[in-house]
Amino acid sequence: MPQTWYVTFEVHKRGTLPKRRSPRETRTFESEAEARAFARAKFNEGLIVFAGTLNPFLPRRLILSSDIPSWIEQDRGDEVAGHDAKRDPEK
């Protein structure tokens, strides 16, 4: 399965290099769920996080750092709804 999502996050300065080229790092993922889980972990570390879909995949999505909290909470809402649906099939 191709990598379709990316998460970009700020990197803490460690002082091991004389000068860092970029204060950010990007990782790619096969699914939105994997990207959300990774973004949640980095966000919980207090880092600034962006996410989105890679070109040429459609629909194109860009999750700004200000929208990350609601985006990662959508995943939890889906898990809860899915969990309840599995417990009670009549709902």
Expressed in angstroms, the distance from the first to the final Cα of the chain is 33
Residue 35 lies in a domain: yes
* Mean pLDDT of the region 5-23: 74
Q: In terms of pTM, does the model score above 0.85?
A: no
User: Residue 71 sits in which domain range?
Assistant: 5-11+23-87
Closest residue by Cα to residue 10 from 47, 44, 63, 65: 47
Give percent of the chain above pLDDT 70: 68
Does residue 77 register a pLDDT over 60? no
Burial 19-55 (b: 16+ CB within 10 A, else e): eeeeeeeebebeebebbbebbbebbeeebebbbbbee
Residue 17 lies in a domain: no
Residue 66 lies in a domain: yes
